[in-house]
Each structure stands twice: as C-alpha cells, then as structure tokens.
Amino acid sequence: MMNNISIDAVETANELECLPYSVQHQDEGVCLLVRMGPHRILLDFGLTNILPVTQNLTKLAQPGTSPMPADLVLVSHAHPDHARGLLTLHQAFPMLPIYASEVTTKLLPLNWTEEELPGILPFCQALPLRSPIEIREDLIVELFPAGHLPGAVAILLTYHTPKRDYKLLYTGDFFLSNSRLVEGLRLDELRGLNLDVLLIEGSYGTSRHPHRRHQENQLAERIHRAISASGTDESYSVILPTPALGLGQELLMLLRSHHHFTGRDLDIWVDGAVATGCDAYLELLPHLPASVQNFARHQPLFWDERVKPRVRRLKPENLATLGASPCIVLTDSTADLRKYCQLNTGNWLILLPEKIDIPVNQEYLVPTKVESYLLAQHSDGPGTTQLIHNLRPQHVIFVHGSPSYLADLTCLEELQNRYHVHSPAAGTLVELPIGETFLQPAAPETNYGGELTELGTVITITLPDAVRADPRWRQFADTGLIEARWQGEDLVLRGLSPRELLNQNNLRPNSGDIECCGSCRHQRGQRCWNSAAPLYNFKVTLDGYCPAFERLT
C-alpha cells in the first residue's frame, strides 16, 4: 500500500527495489531481497522451503551476474523465523557469503539438530557492531544493537554513487525497551541518518502495551498467587512453555530476581531446548549488559542449587517427584506437557505467552488451568511509530506481522501524511523511487523516554544521550549526584549542586544506628567499593542496603 505524497525530481534510474519472499511470522519466516544499484542483498532467511528463491535466481540480477540468489546475506538475529533456512541455503549455494553479528553467529547453530550439523564448518561470518564495513565496492554495511535478543541488530546499508548516497535500514525484530538480559535499541544512535528506506517489523500492529516492568510484575504476581496456597486445592505448580531462545531466559532471570521469589524455598526446573539456550547465554556473558555480568560475579546466572529459588535442569528421574510441592517448569513450546501433568502431581497452571502460537492438549490426568500473559519482545504501535518519526525516511516498508496488523499500521494517518508507506505481499516487487527534493517531515517534539531497571537492590534509570543537548543539563549533572522525591504518583529527580555537597553531614544519615550505604565504610563518592558486595563499582542510594554492609566507624 502506498500513499499519495509526491516526490519531485525522481531520478530516472531507480536504484532501490525490494522483493519480499516472505513477510509473515507464522507459516513462514522473514526473507527479503533488496537491490541497491548493482548489489543484491538477502535480508534474513526464515524460509523452510528455498524453492521460491531458486526459481527466481535472475530476479533483480544485473546482466552477466552469476546465477546466485544474491550477492550476500545479512542476518538480523538467530530466531528461527529469521534464520532457520540458512543451513539449507548454504548447502545449496556454499559460495554465498553470510554475515551476522558475533553473538548471532554463536547462537545460529541452535536452529539445527546435531545430526544436521556434523561435517559442516561454521558458515556465518561475524561483523563488528557500530563499525561501517565496505562489504562490496561502494556498498557499506553497519550493524546497530536492536534489543529483542542478544546479538539482534538493525542493519544499515549505504550505497555510494557519484551523485549521492542511498541509505536503507532494516530493523529485523527490534525492541526499544530494556529487558532483563538485553538493552533496548538506542534511538540516539540512529537519529540523523538521512534515511531513504526503512524496512520495519510490525509484529504488534498498532496495539499499545503497558510498560514492560508492569508486564513483568503482573506475570510475577500471577505465578506468586498460583504457588502460594501450598497444601490447598488452590495450590498450583506452573508450566511456562517458551521458544528456546529469548523469552525462556528472560523468564528465568525474572523469576530469579523478582521480590516475589528471591529467597523463596522453591524449585524452578528447566527442560529441553530452553536449557540448551541457557547454556548458550552463559557462553555469551561478556556480551550481556553490565548489570547482568555483575549479578553473575556473585551467583550463577542460571544453574544454582544453593541460592533460593533453586534452578535445575529437569532430568527423567525428577519426573517421579515433580509437583509434590509447588514448582515452576520452563520447557519448549513444542513439548508434550502431559509428561509433567502426571497422576499425583497436584494441580497445574499452564501459562502461554500472547502472540506466540503454542498448541496445548485439552485433556490431562490432573486438574489444569490454561491462561495467557503478555511479556512483549517487540515494540508496540507507539514504539514503532516513534522509531519511524525519529528516522523520517522517504519510504516505509512494513514486514513481519499478520496481514491485519500490518494493514493497521499502513493506514495510520500520521504515517500516510508523511511517508510513502508500503505493506507488500510475498512475491510483490516494490520499486522505491528516491526524490532529491522530498520534503522531510518536521522533527517530532522532543520527549525523553527513559528506562527503569531493577536488579537486586539496585535501581537504574537510563535516559537517552539527547538529554545532554539541553543547556540545563550541565547544571543538573554537575556533581553526578541526584535527589529523588515523590510528588503524588510521580517521582521527581533533582541534581545536587556543589554547594549542597560542601556539608558532607547532609549527605550521610544523621543516625549512626541506621545500616545503610550512607553509613557504610565502603561507600565513597556514592559508589560501592567493596569487591565482595553485589553493588561493587555501582552508584548506590545513600539509604540503600546490602548484606556486605560494614559500619563507617
């Protein structure tokens, strides 16, 4: 679908085209063929059947080029709907170069069985983040972290000609919010690109979601209620079927760090490919957020039988006693849940993630409830439009979503009035004429969207770098210290001035009897310097507390 905005001075030679082989995420994954001048680039390969590609070897090809489906393949992340066909593609065209981020290259093998991989050398080459690489003559690729999953990237392609540069950004799956194990896509890294084309996912259409922390709290509260009524008919064990990568590990980290479960005498069992995914994350620890790395210095990230709640792999011998007391099971989205819901195992609550199609049996040997929950892994409608308005491209192409969701997005008046909006069906060639005098929309009003992250006893508030452009920032951040106070339902932050810090007594609690960071001998400059503390090298609140407290005197 395309709106009626006119583009003046369209160049006679159309340098940009897009042929989607697949744009959905249920029956098939995502696979897009883009032409930029003489270059043909495959973006992702979530196809299970490569026949459409082999039948169109000459599509968008220049005369005299080799009979290959593209000149190169760029992979946004390791989820099956974006990567499961890569092994078959490599076997059919072993000389076709395939690139991804370093983390994605390590996660890709989880898409195939051990029987499929023996004898096959790693075929995906790693590209660095935030570093422009001239991958072919006059074609530059740059990867930016996109949130959603470790290693997931937005891919910026720049085609250089003597007249001008053409720029196309493919988001893959993206998430603006921080999650437990992945930092969100940073808008400040992409703002000001002078983008021509944006290929963007529309997984959630125009729907609006609560903040992710609210989603987490709702899920934690539901699990807490299920397992709390121990010894009564209302007591349930909980099964969480999830995909192998991403959501399962996020749930496990939530269960380990949420106040409803920390220190609780509870067993969390992890089964199948979800457990394999946890092992893969442990190999990627240096690439995970600093707060997660700090957590892992003091206790295991996943497997832990010492600290409550205990996290263990589920082995066949554990099935006999499973459910004797309320427990939580994380397992594959494809698992037959009847193996857990056996006789004499008590009641079971099966919680299914929204927007992910997970079939479950309707009959079990013990009482069961089936409910759903929302823990978003993609940006919602406002997040999607926020990214578009920050990038302000000439063309917006929506992919990856149900047809109705994508139609909702393309029909938004705020997009129709500003951009050329497309939502092509598979196999439909989209020509992307670029105008020299295209009237870019005005920049949106500046609002600073931030993120709040809780981990253990630390709360971190993250704001975009654009905040510093305001002349008031210098005074606000002069000392690096802030004061927070409640104003109704709002939390107000205020920078502390050097004058206020002259009297150190005002910073430390008046009473030496209070065990808190303000009266701890290891707190200097409002940072913790105790290497044995979970907050080591982090900024701390003066009224905070951790088990490594030692009195100042």
Mean pLDDT of 14-32: 83
Higher pLDDT, 356 or 543: 356
Q: How confident is the model at residue 107, as a pLDDT?
A: 95
Question: How confident is the prediction for the chain on average, in pLDDT?
Answer: 84
Could you read off the pLDDT of 127-161 as tens digits, one per residue? 999 999 999 999 999 999 999 999 999 999 999 99
Task: Decide which of 533 and 237 is more confident.
Answer: 237
Strand order in the sheet with 328-332: 310-313, 267-270, 328-332, 236-242, 347-353, 368-373
Whether residue 157 contacts residue 184, with contact meaning beta carbons closer than 8 Å, is answered with: no
When pLDDT is averaged across residues 526-540 and rounded to a whole number, the result is: 76
Statement: residue 2 has pLDDT above 60: no
Spatial distance between the Cα atoms of 204 and 401, rounded to a whole number of angstroms: 7
Q: Is the pLDDT of residue 441 over 70?
A: no
Distance between CA 92 and CA 96 in Å, rounded? Answer: 9
Regarding predicted confidence, which is higher, 534 or 154?
154
pLDDT class for 487, splitting at 50, 70, 90? low
pLDDT of 58 reads: 57
* Residue range 308-331, pLDDT digits in tens: 999 999 999 988 888 888 899 999
Question: What does each C-alpha distance from 149 to 206, 222, 309, 322, 357 come to in angstroms?
Answer: 22, 25, 25, 31, 19
* Interval 83-106: pLDDT, tens: 999 999 999 899 999 999 999 999
Its pTM stands at 0.76
Alpha-carbon distance 468 to 289, whole Å? Answer: 23
Token pair 């949130």 is found at: 147
pLDDT in tens, 43-59: 999 998 888 777 776 55
Span 410-424, pLDDT tens digits: 989 899 889 999 999
Alpha carbon distance 365, 262 (integer Å): 32
* Average pLDDT of span 453-482: 76
